[in-house]
A and B are shown apart, each in its own frame.
Chain A
Amino acid sequence: MTRRITTSGSISRRRLLATAGAGAALAASPFRINLLQAQEANIKIGFPVPLTGPYGAEAQDQVRAAQLAIAQFNDGGGLNGRKAELVVRDDKLNAGEAATRSLELVEQEKVNFVVGSLSAAVQLAINNVTKERGIIFNSISQSDAINEAKDFSKYTFHEALNPHMTAGAVGRYAFPKFGKKVAFLTADYAYGTEMLRGFLEAGKAFNIENLGDVRHPIGATDFSTLLPRLQSLKPDILCICNFGRDQQIALKQATDFGIKKTTQIIAPLLSHASRVAAGPQAFDGVIGGCSFYWGLEDKFASTKAFNAAFSKMYDGKLPTDYGALGYGGVRTVLEAVKTAGSVDTDKVIVALEALKYDDYKGPQYYRKCDHQSVQSVLVIKSKSKDMKNESDVFEIIGTEEPNEANLRSCEELGHKA
Chain B
Amino acid sequence: MQSSTNEVIQPLPGAQASPVGWFELAKLHRASLASLVVLVFPLVMPFTALAANILIYGLFALGFNLVYGYLGLLSFGHAALFGTGAYFCGIAIVHLGLPWYAGIGLGVVGGLLMAAVIGVLAIRTRGIYFAMVTMALSQCAYYLFYEAVDWTGGENGLRGINIHQISVFGLKLDFINPLTRYYVIAAFVIAAFFVLSRILASPFGAVIEAVRENEARARASGYDVTTTRLITFVLSGGFCGLAGALQALHLSIVPIEILHYDTSGIVVMIALLGGMGTFFGPMIGAAAFLMLENIVSTWTVHWQLIVGAVFMICVLFFPAGIWGTLIKRIKP
- Residues of A at the B interface (CB closer than 8 Å) are 1-2, 4-5, 8-9, 12-13, 16-17, 20-21, 24-25, 27-28, 31-32, 34-35, 51-52, 56, 60, 89-90, 92, 94-96, 99-100, 103-104, 107-108, 120-121, 124-125, 127-129, 132-133, 143, 145, 150-151, 189-190
CB of B304, distance to nearest CB on chain A (Å) = 7
Q: How far is the CA of A145 from the CA of B158 in the complex (A)?
A: 12
27 interchain pairs, CB-CB under 8 A? A4-B19, A5-B20, A8-B19, A9-B19, A13-B29, A16-B26, A24-B36, A24-B37, A27-B44, A28-B43, A52-B297, A60-B301, A96-B251, A96-B258, A100-B50, A103-B251, A104-B49, A107-B178, A121-B155, A124-B157, A124-B159, A125-B159, A125-B253, A128-B159, A128-B162, A132-B176, A151-B160
> How many chain B residues have a CB neighbour from A under 8 Å?
45
Contact pick for A56, options B33, B49, B159, B301, CB 8 Å: B301
By Cβ-Cβ distance, the 10 closest A-B pairs, closest first, are: A95-B255, A103-B49, A108-B47, A190-B155, A99-B251, A24-B40, A28-B43, A96-B255, A189-B155, A107-B178
CB of A259, distance to nearest CB on chain B (Å) = 28
Q: Are A1 and B6 in contact (CB under 8 A)?
A: yes
CB of B264, distance to nearest CB on chain A (Å) = 14
Query: Which residues of chain A have C-beta atoms less than 8 A from B20's C-beta?
Result: 5, 8-9, 12
Q: Is B154 an interface residue (CB 8 A)?
A: yes
Q: Are B156 and A12 in contact (CB under 8 A)?
A: no
Query: Which residues of chain A have C-beta atoms less than 8 A from B40's C-beta?
Result: 21, 24-25, 28
Q: Are A128 and B252 in contact (CB under 8 A)?
A: yes
Query: Which residues of chain A have C-beta atoms less than 8 A from B221's C-beta?
Result: none
Q: From known contacts A16-B26, A32-B43, A107-B49, infer whether A99 and B19 are also in contact, taking CB-CB under 8 Å.
A: no
Q: How far is the CA of A51 from the CA of B302 in the complex (A)?
A: 9
What 4 additional pairs, Cβ within 8 angstroms, besides A51-B301, A99-B255? A9-B20, A16-B29, A31-B44, A31-B46
Q: Are B156 and A21 in contact (CB under 8 A)?
A: no
Q: Are A104 and B256 in contact (CB under 8 A)?
A: no
> For residues 123 through 150 of chain B, which have their beta carbon under 8 Å from a beta carbon of chain A?
none
Q: Are A128 and B33 in contact (CB under 8 A)?
A: no
Query: Which residues of chain B have C-beta atoms less than 8 A from A21's C-beta?
Result: 36, 40
Query: Which residues of chain B have C-beta atoms less than 8 A from A24's C-beta?
Result: 36-37, 40, 44
> For residues 269 through 327 of chain B, which have their beta carbon under 8 Å from a beta carbon of chain A?
297-298, 301, 303-304
Over the window 156-186 of chain B, the binary record of Cβ atoms lying under 8 Å from chain A Cβ atoms (1 yes, 0 no) is 1101101010000000000010100000000
Contact pick for B298, options A20, A89, A100, CB 8 Å: A89
Query: Which residues of chain B have C-beta atoms less than 8 A from A27's C-beta?
Result: 44
Q: Considering the complex, give the chain B residue whose CB is closest to the CB of A2.
A: B6
Query: Which residues of chain B have C-beta atoms less than 8 A from A190's C-beta?
Result: 154-156
Q: From known contacts A128-B159, A128-B162, A151-B159, infer whether A94 and B257 are also in contact, taking CB-CB under 8 Å.
A: yes
CB of A78, distance to nearest CB on chain B (Å) = 25
Query: Which residues of chain B have C-beta atoms less than 8 A from A189's C-beta?
Result: 155
Q: Is B10 an interface residue (CB 8 A)?
A: yes
Q: Considering the complex, give the chain B residue whose CB is closest to the CB of A108.
A: B47
Q: From known contacts A94-B255, A124-B253, infer whether A107 and B304 are also in contact, taking CB-CB under 8 Å.
A: no
Over the window 47-69 of chain B, the binary record of Cβ atoms lying under 8 Å from chain A Cβ atoms (1 yes, 0 no) is 11110010000000000000000
CB of A62, distance to nearest CB on chain B (Å) = 13
Q: Is B25 an interface residue (CB 8 A)?
A: yes
Contact pick for B36, options A17, A124, A127, A128, CB 8 Å: A17
CB of B257, distance to nearest CB on chain A (Å) = 5
Query: Which residues of chain B have C-beta atoms less than 8 A from A124's C-beta?
Result: 156-157, 159, 253
